């Protein structure tokens, strides 16, 4: 067993604008199995992938978190609707097409491995890291649409990944900041959270989450737990594909200097984004020399990596970035999908009329910084006179709320100050609608309820325009909210 064999277990982070390309080259010379890319322009991503692969002695797998298309991270690529927007449509064809477009653009950029889809269940409104990344709350809906997305990703030559095993939905802690604890018993996990993983075992990989599932292991997070990975995932669920950790630089596990070694011993085949890849390589070498890591286990993990690399070989002739990135066909998908994805949370009979004066409002946000400019412009185009909302005069109100998961933020829904500002606006308004261009859970728990609530589940320009058309009855919101919002 060579030093480079151990290095192939490691997949460091490459963050454009921060990572030193020379250090990345040294990691390739060390023998790492690949990288996880974050950010960059289309040209930067394409050229960096090509340069790193050219100097690697073994097939180098480039991964990225393109959950909502490559445009989620890459300037010049197409950003796609959130999973929850697709979940609201309930449409497998849309889910599959999302997977196809994501894979096509990823491969054109030189990215082989799409770390998607998310199969967590959106069962806890205060969960700060799942939310609209999930297709919905219902396990059957999630499994059905995630399966269609998997098929789309695979059909266009990219690798897929289910995440975050054993299910991150029923937690309320951001694992980027702390270690979440899942209190469900095993029957509860098997009935709900584990079902998508069990039904979609054909996925190329499964990502182990940094969360403690008490039913599986009282102390260790699933990503470091032999009971979770070797016992449940490999044993009980019979999963034979590659297991990758969630990013090891997340604070849920980053304080543990032995986390990478523990993850491998638990059953992980790929160690994602350690804080110090060179230090992790040294730790793996010590564990191997001490006999804690066996050669057979390393060979098995590398064999799973090699299988994924072989699956890519029929698709080595990748499309050119200029042919597929933000092409008309991909951009048209967002516009065509929007009406099917929008959903009323309350009062579907609500509407504005041409010629009406409507006040637009985003909590604690001046007009110069509005995120809903496309929504406002479309309302204006359709004949509504839109002005900044003035409280206390009975003005009709359209409030745009842009709340979505952000890694390392620790929160998802409105802050106390934002909620107070929204409540104050609603209290003094005439007929009002709150449009959720992100988390639908912002509509829950309001003391002063709006006359209507409309969910777009994402802030894409086409979805903002569609929301405006729905409010003028120029389009129908055909979706169904796939979560329980509550009061």
User: What is the side-by-side order of every strand in the sheet holding 13-15?
Assistant: 13-15, 34-38, 61-64, 113-114
* Cα separation, 214 vs 43, whole angstroms: 45
pLDDT confidence of residue 176: 65
Quick check: helix, strand or coil at residue 246?
Answer: coil
For residues 141 and 280, state if they share a domain.
yes
246 within some domain: yes
pLDDT confidence of residue 405: 67
For residues 370 and 304, state if they share a domain.
no
356 within some domain: yes
402 within some domain: yes
Quick check: helix, strand or coil at residue 173?
Answer: coil
The tokens of 80 are what? 């796609």
For residues 320 and 359, state if they share a domain.
no
Tell me which of 290, 324, 358 is where a domain ends.
324
For residues 364 and 458, state if they share a domain.
yes
* Cα separation, 400 vs 427, whole angstroms: 16
For residues 197 and 254, state if they share a domain.
yes
* Cα separation, 213 vs 221, whole angstroms: 7
For residues 264 and 353, state if they share a domain.
no
* Cα separation, 358 vs 383, whole angstroms: 11
For residues 275 and 397, state if they share a domain.
no
For residues 315 and 386, state if they share a domain.
no
pLDDT confidence of residue 487: 56
Tokens 């699956």 identify what position? 311
- Strands (E) across 431-481 are located at 432-436, 452-455
State the CATH number of the domain containing residue 173. 3.20.20.300
* Cα separation, 99 vs 93, whole angstroms: 10
pLDDT confidence of residue 175: 63
Contact 41, 17 (CB under 8 A): no
DSSP 229: I
The tokens of 360 are what? 């637009």
* Active-site pick, 46, 164, 168, 176: 176
Q: How many CA atoms lie within 13 A of 124 on its CB side?
A: 21
Contact 482, 437 (CB under 8 A): no
CA dihedral sign of residues 379, 134, 91, 348: negative
* Cα separation, 393 vs 293, whole angstroms: 71
Cβ neighbours for 370, distance < 8 A, ≥ 6 positions apart: 360, 362, 376, 400
Among 204, 119, 227, smallest CA distance to 157 is for 204
Question: Alpha helix (H) ranges present in 214-347?
Answer: 226, 259-266, 277-289, 295-312, 321-324, 328-341
* Active-site pick, 217, 246, 269, 462: 246
For residues 276 and 378, state if they share a domain.
no
* Cα separation, 463 vs 437, whole angstroms: 8
Alpha-carbon dihedral angle through residues 75, 80, 83, 89, given to the nearest 10 degrees: 170
Among 382, 392, 374, smallest CA distance to 356 is for 382
For residues 305 and 367, state if they share a domain.
no
β-pair partners for 36: 13, 63
DSSP 368: G
CB atoms within 10 A of CB 367: 13
Tell me which of 277, 296, 324 is where a domain ends.
324
Whether 176 sits among the annotated catalytic residues: the reply is yes
Query: What pairing do the DSSP bridges indicate for beta strands 343-346 and 271-272?
Result: unpaired
441 within some domain: yes
pLDDT confidence of residue 437: 97
* Cα separation, 467 vs 465, whole angstroms: 5
77 within some domain: yes
pLDDT confidence of residue 255: 79
For residues 361 and 285, state if they share a domain.
no
Distance from the Cα of residue 302 to its chain's centroid: 27
Domain count, the chain: 2
State the CATH number of the domain containing residue 442. 3.40.50
* Cα separation, 405 vs 82, whole angstroms: 11
The tokens of 450 are what? 């709006």
* Cα separation, 195 vs 192, whole angstroms: 6
**Domain containing residue 312:** 3-324
For residues 294 and 368, state if they share a domain.
no
483 within some domain: no
pTM: 0.95
487 residues of the chain, pLDDT tens digit each: 788 899 999 999 999 999 999 999 999 999 999 999 999 999 999 999 999 999 999 999 999 999 999 999 999 999 999 999 999 999 999 999 999 999 999 999 999 999 999 999 999 888 878 999 999 999 999 999 999 999 999 999 999 999 999 998 777 666 666 788 888 899 999 999 999 999 999 999 999 999 999 999 998 999 999 999 999 999 999 999 999 999 999 977 877 889 999 999 999 999 999 999 999 999 999 999 999 999 999 999 999 999 999 999 776 678 888 899 999 999 999 999 999 999 999 999 999 999 999 999 999 999 999 999 999 999 999 999 999 999 888 899 999 999 876 554 445 678 889 999 999 999 989 999 999 999 999 998 788 889 999 999 999 999 999 999 999 999 999 999 999 997 5
392 within some domain: yes
Whether 246 sits among the annotated catalytic residues: the reply is yes
Question: 42-54 and 21-30 are packed helices; what angle lies between their axes, rounded to 10 degrees?
Answer: 30
DSSP 472: T
Q: What angle do CA 112, 118, 121 make, to 5 degrees?
A: 170
For residue 37, which phi and psi values (nearest 5 degrees)? Answer: -85, 140
The tokens of 173 are what? 């802690």
75 within some domain: yes
Question: 277-289 and 259-266 are packed helices; what angle lies between their axes, rounded to 10 degrees?
Answer: 60
pLDDT confidence of residue 409: 44
pLDDT confidence of residue 316: 65
């Amino acid at each position: 067993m060579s030093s480079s064999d151990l290095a192939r277990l490691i997949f460091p982070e490459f963050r454009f604008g921060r990572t030193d390309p020379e250090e990345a080259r040294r990691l390739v010379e060390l023998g790492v199995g690949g990288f996880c890319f974050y950010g960059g322009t289309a040209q930067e991503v394409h050229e960096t992938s090509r340069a790193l692969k050219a100097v690697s002695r073994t097939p180098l797998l480039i991964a990225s978190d393109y959950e909502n298309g490559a445009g989620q991270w890459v300037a010049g690529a197409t950003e796609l609707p959130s999973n929850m927007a697709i979940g609201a449509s309930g449409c497998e064809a849309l889910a599959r097409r999302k997977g196809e477009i994501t894979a096509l653009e990823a491969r054109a950029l030189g990215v082989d491995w799409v770390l998607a889809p998310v199969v967590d269940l959106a069962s806890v409104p205060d969960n700060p890291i799942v939310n609209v990344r999930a297709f919905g709350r219902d396990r059957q809906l999630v499994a059905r649409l995630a399966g269609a997305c998997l098929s789309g990703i695979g059909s266009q030559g990219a690798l897929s990944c289910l995440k975050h095993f054993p299910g991150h939905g029923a937690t309320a802690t951001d694992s980027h900041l702390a270690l979440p604890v899942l209190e469900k018993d095993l029957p509860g996990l098997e009935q709900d959270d584990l079902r998508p993983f069990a039904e979609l075992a054909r996925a190329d990989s499964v990502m182990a989450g940094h969360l403690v599932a008490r039913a599986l292991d009282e102390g260790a997070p699933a990503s470091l737990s032999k009971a979770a990975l070797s016992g449940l995932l490999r044993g009980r669920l019979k999963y034979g594909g590659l297991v990758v950790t969630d990013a090891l630089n997340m604070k849920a596990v980053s304080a543990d200097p032995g986390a990478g070694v523990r993850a491998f011993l638990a059953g992980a085949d790929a160690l994602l984004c350690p804080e110090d890849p060179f230090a992790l390589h040294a730790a793996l070498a010590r564990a191997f020399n001490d006999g804690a890591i066996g050669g057979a286990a390393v060979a098995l993990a590398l064999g799973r990596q090699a299988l994924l690399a072989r699956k890519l070989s029929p698709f080595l002739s990748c499309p050119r970035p200029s042919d597929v990135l933000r092409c008309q066909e991909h951009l048209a998908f967002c516009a065509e999908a929007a009406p099917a994805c929008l959903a009323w949370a309350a009062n579907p009979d609500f509407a504005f009329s041409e010629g009406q004066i409507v006040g637009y409002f985003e909590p604690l946000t001046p007009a110069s910084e509005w995120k809903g400019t496309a929504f406002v412009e479309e309302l204006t185009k359709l004949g509504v006179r839109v002005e900044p909302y003035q409280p206390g005069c009975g003005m009709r109100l359209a409030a745009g709320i842009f709340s979505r998961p952000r890694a390392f933020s620790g929160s998802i829904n409105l802050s106390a100050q934002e909620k107070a500002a929204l409540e104050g606006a609603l209290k003094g308004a005439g007929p009002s609608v709150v449009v959720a261009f992100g988390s639908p859970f912002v509509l829950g728990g309001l003391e002063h309820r709006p006359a209507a609530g409309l969910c777009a589940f994402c802030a894409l320009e086409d979805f903002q325009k569609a929301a405006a058309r729905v409010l003028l009855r120029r389009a129908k919101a055909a979706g169904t909210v796939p979560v329980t919002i509550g009061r």
